[in-house]
Amino acid sequence: MTITKYIKGYIFYSEQDATNAREKCDVYFGIPVSPEDVTQNWCEYFFAELQGFYYIIFDESLRHIFGEPLDLEIHYTPIVL
């Protein structure tokens, strides 16, 4: 069973690009202040395995850095325990 989730966000086609985007946010917001801080990253990226791309979910604080978000359609297979 595949589930589809509709979100706003930003797409990256390599993990390095997603990592660079996350680091760009961290630098912009000055995070982390020290290595002991609980918050180490401003945002996190995810991998859309069935589609083969990485993405960051839109938050209003990211608009200033990345611009307008895209409408994304994420497909995933839930893990059944």
41 is a domain residue = yes
- What pLDDT score was predicted for residue 27? 96
70 is a domain residue = yes
Number of folded domains that form the chain:
1
9 is a domain residue = yes
Give the residue numbers spanning the domain of 27: 3-76
59 is a domain residue = yes
In which residue are the tokens 């839930």 written?
A: 78
Q: Side-chain half-sphere of 7: how many Cα atoms within 13 Å?
A: 15
H/E stretch holding 73: strand 70-76
32 is a domain residue = yes
33 is a domain residue = yes
22 is a domain residue = yes
81 is a domain residue = no
Tens-digit pLDDT string for the chain (81 aa):
899 999 999 999 999 999 999 999 999 999 998 888 889 999 999 999 999 999 999 999 999 999 999 999 999 988 888
pTM score, whole prediction: 0.89
